[in-house]
Amino acid sequence: MKNRESELLPVPYYHIVFTLPHHLNELLPKQDKLIYNCLLKAAWKTIKVFGEDPRYLGAKMGMVCILHTWGQQLWLHPHVHCIVPAGGITKSGKWKQTKYAQKYLFPKRALSKVFRAGFMALLRREMEVPQPLAKKLFVKPWVVYAKRPFATPKTVIEYLGRYTHKVAISNHRITEVDNKNVSFFYKNYRDAAKKKIATISGEEFLRRFAMHILPHGFMRIRHYGILASRNKATELNLAKTHFSQPRWKKQKHSWEQIARERLNFNPLCCPNCKQESLITIQVIDPKRGPPIQQTGG
């Protein structure tokens, strides 16, 4: 999170959620890597198109996005949470603020149409989409949820800390486990005041949970535009200069430093003498298991 803090600009940050229609679930999980890649790319392409349009901004923006694949009852519900700073870098290298910094970033209906068109174009490049499915996907508008800006840039860090390492369900939501069933509570968004309990078999619980295991090596957190790794040293620093902030540079933080600053705990302090006298003698790395032996048939 310290690296994320060093990237913050003193501007509003928007929270936008791009969601895929449930009709696409029939292609999952056989095409999960392909579809999730298209989802992430289409979300950024949508923000990029609006950002570069002079009617809305006319500048190159940045975005951090986080892929989530689950709903409250562990069904497939692929969506991307996007954090977007309110502005971008123009072709002349100047920072330009969005027009409606304290309201919404861009019109939601327009975002929805561009997102749908962008995703479908990417998907059709990668695979042949069955015509009946394609027809269903164009019947209803796609969902793009746009919140008002975060209260402060620091709130962005708190949000990212909560969302970046979430899994489909955490232990506190599981209320009971026996030899046959698993019970857990979930939010009913149609009735926000109530939490409900779902009870399903252990096999069904594992099946639903396993649907959200991402392909090996898949990057579910991505940075685009001026926040992309290859652009931060130049484009992000142009913005930093505009706001008279220290230039961004890649930093490495030791676990001891993070413990002191975040947890108010000195890991080198002896619990008995209260002096910083701990000396590391040896670091024991985790051992890998024996290689799997393959046998011929």
Q: Which sign does the torsion angle of CA 32, 36, 39, 45 carry?
A: negative
Q: Which pLDDT value is given to residue 288? A: 64
Do 78 and 43 contact (CB within 8 A), yes or no? no
CA torsion, points 20, 25, 30, 32, in degrees to nearest 10? 20
pLDDT tens digits, 231-255: 999 999 999 999 999 998 877 667 7
Do 44 and 64 contact (CB within 8 A), yes or no? no
Mean local confidence (pLDDT), 45-55: 96
Joined tokens for residue 292 = 């799997």
Strands 76-85 and 13-19: antiparallel
Locate all alpha helices (DSSP H) within the chain, ordered by sequence.
2-7, 32-52, 108-126, 131-137, 153-163, 202-210, 229-231, 237-242, 255-263
pLDDT tens digits, 209-225: 999 999 999 999 999 99
Q: Which pLDDT value is given to residue 1? A: 55
What values do phi and psi take at 27, rounded to 5? -90, -10
d(CA 126, CA 46): 19
DSSP 173-208: GEEEE-SSEEEEEEE-TTSTT-EEEEEEEHHHHHHH
pLDDT tens digits, 84-99: 999 999 999 999 999 8
CA distances for 274 relative to 140, 254, 264, 277, angstroms: 65, 21, 15, 8
Q: Which pLDDT value is given to residue 96? A: 96
Q: Which pLDDT value is given to residue 184? A: 96
Q: Which pLDDT value is given to residue 176? A: 95
pLDDT tens digits, 158-191: 777 777 778 899 999 999 999 999 999 998 777 6
Task: List residues bridging with 13 in a β-sheet.
Answer: 85
Which residue type, as a one-letter code, is found at position 48? Answer: K
d(CA 249, CA 246): 9
Q: Which pLDDT value is given to residue 297? A: 42
Burial class from Cβ neighbours inside 10 Å (0-12, 13-18, 19+) for residue 192 reads exposed
For residue 14, give the H/E element and its range.
strand 13-19
Task: List residues bridging with 221 in a β-sheet.
Answer: 66
Spans of all domains in the chain = 2-168+215-255, 169-211
d(CA 20, CA 237): 34
d(CA 20, CA 23): 8
pLDDT at 13 over 80: yes
Residue 276 DSSP code? S
pLDDT at 262 over 80: no
d(CA 242, CA 87): 12
pLDDT at 296 over 50: no
Average pLDDT, the chain: 88
